[in-house]
């Protein structure tokens, strides 16, 4: 069974704020849920399936109660920043199986203003913490820097090439009034920003923001009755890539497995993609993912991103036209939801006119969660216009 054409994204909403000290985590979940439902032309009473991560209380148990939902399906698949793309895939499969009709997926987080929503260990920690926790790792950047060093060593990738990815995102963020970093930057400015963890500079890193987002996935019969443009779910692929019993390879991501699964289900290939939302926790995340999804050969990502390839509307592969996690928003330290939302905007023709890709029929959204140097979730979605 395939999910191709069995479900549609009918509503999407990105919280407009980037620092939200005055609202609780659950309030932000409610903000984005109501925003996405209003966008779809639906109400809370229409929702019969709910998806969220593990960040709020008891996950979907706590949130279904807070939101007053009556659900036949809930799912709290936790694969870090890629969770929300997995949720859309799982929602589409549940809809295709007849288990539900209207699925709500929400994300909220407040890492900028508080530790509310901090995802700590519950119960006994798994063993890796004692073999990775003593070396002075400063969050994700240390891990992603390890991948960047190795990629540079094997393929000659340069800091200038990585910086070019940030520059492209910043050119898009200029057109987004809600972007956390709304100003264009140059390659030189990226390279002159302070080194955080060699070879990654401060501007190779994404922003830290409060916020959230939500999408509504619905059955074809529900979607047809709504006024909004229909965004068809064409394919979904997901995986976990881990250290593989001490044989970790830092030069590729889980996208090498999730990408082909999604393309196969959609009956499409990389050349069919008009717009791509590529997870951009760091510049190296984008570069490796582009290679792994087949937009260029392994090791050629550095060459691929040059000459404005990623810049909308006319680059070879316009990416992250909202400014991405690198410049716009990385709510809750999780960029997956905003990857879906900007792909929906592009397919509806509702991206900012300066970055709207002409005749955008096929969009790819890719999420990465956890750490590229240890264990990561990778999820790829292919979405299309109604006739795709």
Partner 1 sequence: MRSEAGLPVPAPSPTAETAEFWAATARGTLLLPRCDECSTVIWYPRVFCPACGSQTVSWIEASGRGIIYSFTVARRGMGPYKDAAPYAVAYVELEEGPRIMTNVVDDDPGSLEVGMPVQVVFHDTGEGSALYRFRRAGGGDR
Query: What is the binding site for partner 1 (CB under 8 A)?
Result: 124-125, 127-139, 142, 145-150, 153, 194-200, 243, 245-248, 250, 373-374
Q: Residue 70 CB: number of other CB atoms within 10 A?
A: 10
Residue 234 in 3-state DSSP? strand
| Cis geometry, peptide bond prior to residue 313 (ω within 30 degrees of 0) | yes
Of the pair 202, 224, the CB lying nearest partner 1 is at 202
Of the pair 119, 150, the CB lying nearest partner 1 is at 150
Q: In which element (H, E) is residue 379 found? A: strand 376-385
Q: Closest approach of Cβ 212 to partner 1, in Å?
A: 26
Q: Closest approach of Cβ 196 to partner 1, in Å?
A: 6
Of the pair 221, 244, the CB lying nearest partner 1 is at 244
Q: Closest approach of Cβ 114 to partner 1, in Å?
A: 18
Work out the burial of residue 180: count CB atoms within 10 Å of its CB; fewer than 13 is exposed, 13-18 middle, 19 or more buried.
buried
Q: Residue 243 CB: number of other CB atoms within 10 A?
A: 15
Helix crossing, 283-292 with 159-173: angle to 10°? 100
Place of tokens 């390279």: 191
Of the pair 83, 253, the CB lying nearest partner 1 is at 253
Of the pair 16, 139, the CB lying nearest partner 1 is at 139
Q: Where are the alpha helices (DSSP H) in the chain?
A: 25-40, 60-67, 83-96, 128-132, 140-155, 159-173, 187-192, 220-224, 255-266, 283-292, 301-304, 336-348
Q: Closest approach of Cβ 137 to partner 1, in Å?
A: 6
Of the pair 141, 309, the CB lying nearest partner 1 is at 141
Tell me the chain's radius of gyration from C-alpha atoms: 19
Q: Closest approach of Cβ 154 to partner 1, in Å?
A: 9
| Nearest of 370, 74, 387, 33 to residue 379 by alpha carbon | 370
Q: Closest approach of Cβ 204 to partner 1, in Å?
A: 12
CA distance 225 to 116: 39
Q: Closest approach of Cβ 329 to partner 1, in Å?
A: 24
Q: Closest approach of Cβ 377 to partner 1, in Å?
A: 18
Of the pair 22, 124, the CB lying nearest partner 1 is at 124
Of the pair 5, 199, the CB lying nearest partner 1 is at 199
- Using alpha carbons, list the distances in angstroms from residue 133 to 138, 208, 275, 377: 10, 22, 38, 20
What is the DSSP code string of 292-334?
HTTSS-TT-HHHHT-TTTT-TTTSSS-B-TT-IIIII--BTT-
């Amino acid at each position: 069974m395939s999910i191709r054409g069995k479900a549609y994204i009918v509503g999407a909403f990105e919280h407009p704020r980037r620092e939200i000290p005055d609202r609780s985590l659950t309030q932000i979940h409610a903000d984005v849920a109501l925003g996405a439902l209003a966008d779809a032309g639906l109400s809370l009473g229409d929702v019969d399936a709910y998806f969220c991560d593990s960040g709020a209380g008891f996950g979907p148990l706590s949130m279904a109660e807070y939101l007053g939902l009556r659900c036949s399906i809930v799912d709290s698949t936790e694969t870090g920043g890629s969770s929300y793309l997995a949720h859309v895939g799982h929602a589409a499969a549940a809809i295709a199986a007849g288990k539900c009709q209207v699925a709500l997926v929400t994300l909220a987080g407040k890492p900028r203003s508080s530790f509310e929503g901090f995802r700590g260990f519950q119960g006994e920690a798994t063993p890796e913490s004692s073999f990775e926790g003593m070396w002075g790792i400063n969050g994700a950047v240390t891990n992603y820097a390890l991948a960047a060093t190795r990629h540079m060593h094997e393929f000659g990738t340069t800091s200038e090439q990585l910086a070019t990815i940030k520059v492209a995102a910043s050119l898009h963020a200029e057109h987004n009034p809600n972007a956390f970093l709304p100003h264009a930057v140059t390659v030189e400015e990226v390279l002159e920003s302070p080194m955080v963890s060699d070879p990654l500079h401060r501007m190779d890193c994404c922003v830290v923001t409060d916020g959230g987002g939500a999408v509504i996935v619905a059955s074809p019969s529900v979607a047809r009755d709504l006024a909004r443009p229909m965004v068809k779910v064409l394919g979904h692929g997901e995986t976990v890539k881990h250290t593989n019993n001490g044989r970790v390879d830092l030069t590729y991501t889980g996208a090498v497995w999730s990408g082909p699964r999604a393309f196969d289900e959609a009956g499409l290939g990389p050349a069919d993609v008009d717009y791509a939302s590529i997870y951009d926790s760091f510049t190296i995340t984008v570069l490796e993912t582009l290679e792994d999804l087949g937009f260029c050969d392994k090791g050629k990502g550095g060459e691929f991103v040059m000459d404005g390839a990623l810049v909308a509307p006319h680059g070879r592969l316009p990416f992250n036209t909202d400014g991405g996690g690198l410049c716009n928003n990385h709510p809750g330290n999780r960029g997956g939801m905003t990857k879906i939302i900007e792909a929906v905007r592009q397919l509806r023709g509702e991206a900012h006119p300066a970055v709207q890709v002409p005749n955008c029929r096929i969009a790819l959204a890719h999420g990465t969660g956890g750490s590229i140097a240890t264990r990561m979730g990778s999820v790829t979605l292919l979405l299309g216009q109604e006739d795709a």
